[in-house]
Amino acid sequence: MTTLLRIDASLRLDGSVSRALADSAEAAWKSEHPDGVVVRRDLGVHPIPAGVWPALITEKFGWQAPAGADFVDPSEAKALATDVIAEFKAADAVLIAVPLYNYGIAANVKTYMDLLLTDQDLLAGTAVAGRPIIFTLARGGGYGPGTPKEGWDHATPYLNRIFGEVFNMQIRTAAAELTLAPVTPGMEELIDLSKVSEQDAHTTAGEHATEVARTLTTTAA
């Protein structure tokens, strides 16, 4: 039996494209691997308090917390970080749904990643090396080559850098672009393209999850 850790980050429940893409990936994974376990962490609904990471770092380096600092109690911060890191390390595969907010990753995702980066084994690239991770990404605009906002997506490179190059995981990505076209004045002519991009992303998410599940099943056999 294998475990898929699903992490959602969107602040929306209804209408979230990144969550919908993750649903497609999870459904494909379950179809291929019905005995597998799905563990969920919803950073959109239950974000990790921002004061957790400063509490961990000040204690780790023996720094004096500034007077009046709004940090979480160090013992509580350490317990939460221990749970988050253990959960991540225990997963056979990870599925993380991330929307592009303000051209980067939202604070709830950054805080989560900051906790992971306090673990020495993850930093060394040994704890989860070679394990699969699927990104389901939603971008409100277009950021590909030749677009006006080419290079403005600062989330995807950072995710790839940390999970791929630092943690040495095997990344698969399903991304939908132009997701704000149906609701944004001036983007009407891009609505059809947004629908194609979203449908292609759903297909890709399912294919990635099927491939991951089959690989895990073969490895466990």
Cα within 13 Å of Cα(28), Cβ side: 21
The pLDDT of residue 1 is 78
What letter represents residue 117's amino acid?
L
pTM over 0.85: yes
| CATH number listed for the domain at residues 3-220 | 3.40.50.360
Query: DSSP states of 115-154 as a string?
Result: HHTT-HHHHTT-SSTT-EEEEEEE-SS--STTSTTTT---
pLDDT in 10s for each residue of the chain, 221 residues: 799 999 999 999 999 999 999 999 999 999 998 888 999 999 999 999 999 999 999 988 888 888 878 899 999 999 999 999 999 999 999 999 999 999 999 999 999 999 999 999 999 999 999 999 999 999 999 999 999 999 999 999 999 999 999 999 999 999 999 999 999 999 999 999 999 999 999 999 999 999 999 988 776 65
User: In angstroms, how far is the first alpha carbon of the chain from the final one?
Assistant: 10
State the burial class of residue 17 (Cβ atoms within 10 Å of its Cβ: 0-12, 13-18, 19+).
buried
Strand bridging mode 170-176 / 3-8? unpaired
